[in-house]
Amino acid sequence: MLIVARNFTSFEAPSDNSTFLGMKVSKKLSKKACVRNKIKRRIRHLMRLMLSNNDLTLSKTAIIFIPYKNFELVEFAKLSSELTRVLLRPAR
């Protein structure tokens, strides 16, 4: 699950172009800490790629990830393309 809030200004940001990233990886997902840490590393790396992408403007945006079961089994390329598709979608 992905929650995106555009024009988000209620947190103290060091600059106007800041992006807030939050994630919740619970023990329900996996009892093993190494699996939960792997999921967090993948999410952080995805966000680094998205922020370096010039097609996306993510300034003043808050993004919260809540992964579901078997998230660690999904290929990284598929995750990247899905995230790009969701972030390029116009805001409602």
- C-alpha–C-alpha distance, residues 2 and 68, integer Å: 11
Cβ neighbours of 6 (radius 10 Å): 15
Per-residue pLDDT of the chain (92 residues; tens, 9 = 90+): 777 777 666 666 566 567 777 888 888 888 999 988 998 999 889 888 887 876 666 777 778 888 888 888 889 899 888 888 887 776 55
Report how many domains make up the chain.
Answer: 1
Is the Cβ–Cβ distance between 39 and 29 less than 8 Å?
Answer: yes
For the entire predicted model, the pTM comes to 0.73
Give the residue numbers spanning the domain of 6.
2-88
67 burial via Cβ count (<10 Å: 0-12, 13-18, 19+): buried
User: In this structure, what CATH number is given to the domain that contains residue 30?
Assistant: 3.30.230.10
